[in-house]
């Protein structure tokens, strides 16, 4: 880039001409993607914010300005607050569990373990399958009486339990499916990072007689920090975006025990067709995702420059 600028100052006008032509080319190349991005990401984001201050248009009645009315509805909507707490529990459990398991999987598969290729395949398979399809499988797995889980628990002599139908266990069941789906995906990033670590670190630690745990804690874990941050950001985003399985497993029930923010947004917007209130919920979701991105950008990136 710098070289281009120096060259420009040398040849003067001809270059300026050339440069403006290049700029036109650049914008032409960029145009189609930019137009689509503006129409389906930026404008809708702004429109969502605007619409959240208007009422839902009904029939011939157009939308009118209602100020913070939709947000007041939100504050008084017990299902909204239920979905927020549920989502925090869901994210709070999915994130550490899937990252922890991913790390363990990667450490195992990175070593000369028996059946390494099989293990890697087993861990990663859930990632490539459609969530809607695997949710069906899990639904069967959790089914009262016939499901595999019931069969296993009855073998041990435990009483029958409707795992998805009980408001105490529904959210946990849904969370487990998410962990199962995600851990293998995150494993890949850890595995990639582990493979780039210098093998002489291993040798040095072995010669020094460091224990395996010590080696992990003092060498591998710090060096994996950038990967952990990357995975963490993805896990947080997915924690607020993964709802496909809710449609199959519980539909948010019983009694909203397993509803999540995006699922609630879907119900408000496309089952009750209260689009104005749905816009207000979208604003909340956008705010969550934006703050995740900002935290990553301003805080975390600076602390991970080990290499």
Residue 278 vs residues 81, 145, 266, 283, 285: alpha-carbon distances, Å: 14, 38, 8, 9, 11
| Residue 67 falls in which region: left (phi positive, over 0), alpha (psi -120 to 50) or beta | left
Query: In angstroms, rounded to a whole number, what is the distance separating the alpha carbons of residues 45 and 34?
Result: 15
* Shortest distance in whole angstroms from residue 6 CB to other proteins: 12
Q: What phi, psi does 254 have (nearest 5°)? A: -75, 140
* Shortest distance in whole angstroms from residue 241 CB to other proteins: 6
Rg (CA), the chain: 26
Q: Give the rounded distance of the alpha carbon of 152 from its chain centre.
A: 32
Query: In angstroms, rounded to a whole number, what is the distance separating the alpha carbons of residues 161 and 155?
Result: 13
Nearer to other proteins, 9 or 41 (CB): 41
Nearer to other proteins, 14 or 128 (CB): 128
Residue 65: name the closest of 52, 77, 74 by CA.
52
27's enclosing H/E stretch is: helix 13-37
Nearer to other proteins, 105 or 164 (CB): 105
Nearer to other proteins, 257 or 278 (CB): 278
Six token digits for residue 22:
């290049």
* Shortest distance in whole angstroms from residue 196 CB to other proteins: 9
Six token digits for residue 241:
């975006």
Nearer to other proteins, 47 or 68 (CB): 47
Residue 76 vs residues 70, 80, 260, 277: alpha-carbon distances, Å: 10, 8, 17, 12
* Shortest distance in whole angstroms from residue 171 CB to other proteins: 19
* Shortest distance in whole angstroms from residue 125 CB to other proteins: 7
* Shortest distance in whole angstroms from residue 67 CB to other proteins: 19
Nearer to other proteins, 84 or 104 (CB): 104
């Amino acid at each position: 880039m710098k070289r281009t600028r120096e060259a420009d100052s040398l040849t003067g006008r001809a270059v300026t001409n050339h440069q403006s032509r290049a700029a036109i080319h650049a914008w032409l190349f960029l145009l189609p993607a930019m137009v689509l991005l503006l129409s389906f990401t930026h404008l809708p984001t702004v429109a969502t914010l605007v619409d959240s201050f208007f009422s839902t248009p009904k029939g011939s009645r157009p939308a009118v300005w209602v100020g913070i009315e939709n947000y007041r509805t939100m504050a008084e909507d017990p299902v909204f607050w239920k979905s927020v707490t549920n989502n925090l529990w869901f994210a709070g459990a999915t994130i550490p569990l899937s990252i922890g398991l991913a790390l363990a999987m990667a450490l195992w598969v990175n070593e000369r373990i028996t059946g390494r290729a099989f293990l890697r395949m087993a861990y990663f398979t859930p990632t490539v399958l459609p969530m809607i399809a695997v949710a069906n499988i899990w639904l069967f797995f959790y089914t009262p009486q016939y499901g595999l889980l019931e069969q296993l628990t009855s073998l041990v002599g435990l009483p029958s339990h409707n795992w998805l139908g009980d408001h105490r266990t529904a959210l946990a069941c849904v969370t487990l499916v998410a962990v199962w789906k995600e851990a293998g995906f995150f494993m890949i990033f850890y595995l990639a990072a582990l493979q780039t670590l210098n093998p002489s670190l291993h040798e040095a630690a072995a010669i020094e007689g460091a224990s395996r745990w010590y080696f992990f804690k003092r060498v591998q874990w710090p060096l994996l920090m950038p990967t952990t941050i990357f995975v963490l950001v993805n896990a947080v985003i997915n924690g607020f975006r993964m709802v496909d399985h809710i449609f199959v497993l519980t539909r948010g029930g019983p009694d909203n025990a397993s509803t999540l923010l995006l699922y609630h947004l879907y119900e408000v917007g496309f089952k009750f067709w209260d689009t104005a209130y749905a816009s207000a919920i979208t604003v909340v979701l956008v705010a969550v995702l934006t703050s995740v991105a900002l935290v990553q950008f301003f805080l975390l990136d600076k602390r991970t420059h080990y290499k």
